Amino acid sequence: AVARCKPLRHAYEKEIVLYAYFQGLDYVSTECVYAPHAYRGHARSLLKDLEATRASTVAALGHSGRRLAVAAEVATKTLGAC
């Protein structure tokens, strides 16, 4: 297996959009029709509140999350098409 490379992993979404714009890359900004009912909206709101309190919160969570191991028996949902 080939390891995945994520060069913009530590960049914020706004920075990634600006990078795509200045590089002339296509960027689709439409939201999934299921997004308003998804639970991730609640998590996103929480993260935005935490980020407003302390600017480095999301970066710190990302760094600590990579240290966690997920068990192989954890069930995951199959993704549907948007």
pLDDT in tens, 46-55: 888 988 998 8
- pLDDT value for 61: 81
Arithmetic mean of pLDDT, 14-18: 84
Taking the model in full, what pTM does it have?
0.44
Q: How many CB atoms lie within 10 A of CB 11?
A: 14
Contact status, residue 18 vs residue 68, Cβ threshold 8 Å: no
If one compares 6 and 43, the residue with the highest pLDDT of the two is 43
The span from the CA of 38 to the CA of 17, in Å, is: 23
Asked if the model's pLDDT at residue 45 lies above 60, the reply is: yes
CB 82 within 8 A of CB 33: yes
- At residue 23, the pLDDT reads 92
In this structure, what DSSP letter does residue 30 have? P
